Amino acid sequence: MTKKKETKQPPKSEKPKVNPELAGFDIQINSFGEITTSFDIDKINSFLNTHVDDKKLRDREDLPEIKKKKKG
């Protein structure tokens, strides 16, 4: 039987590229499984609302934010 080779990967020292509005954003999962972030969840949600298209809400006429995006 041959021995299995262990592959050791060095820890990543590079930070991923992020949008300048989210500079300094950090997310961790603690030992209890809770997600902790360096930003307030409301700030993250407002960023996602302005930059990510929600395909489930595209055809809704009752949301004023979507009407503004379609016109402009």
Range of the domain at 49: 25-71
Rg of the Cα atoms in the chain: 20
In a domain, 36, yes or no: yes
Residue predicted with more confidence, 69 or 25: 25
Q: How many CA atoms lie within 13 A of 28 on its CB side?
A: 6
Domain count, the chain: 1
Question: Could you report the per-residue pLDDT of 25-48, keeping only the tens digit for each?
Answer: 888 999 999 999 998 999 988 998
Contact 65, 52 (CB under 8 A): no
Question: Could you report the per-residue pLDDT of 52-67, keeping only the tens digit for each?
Answer: 888 887 777 776 665 4
In a domain, 58, yes or no: yes
The answer to whether residue 72 scores a pLDDT higher than 60 is no
In a domain, 55, yes or no: yes
Q: What is the pLDDT of residue 29?
A: 93
In a domain, 59, yes or no: yes
In a domain, 30, yes or no: yes
pTM of the full predicted structure?
A: 0.53
In a domain, 19, yes or no: no
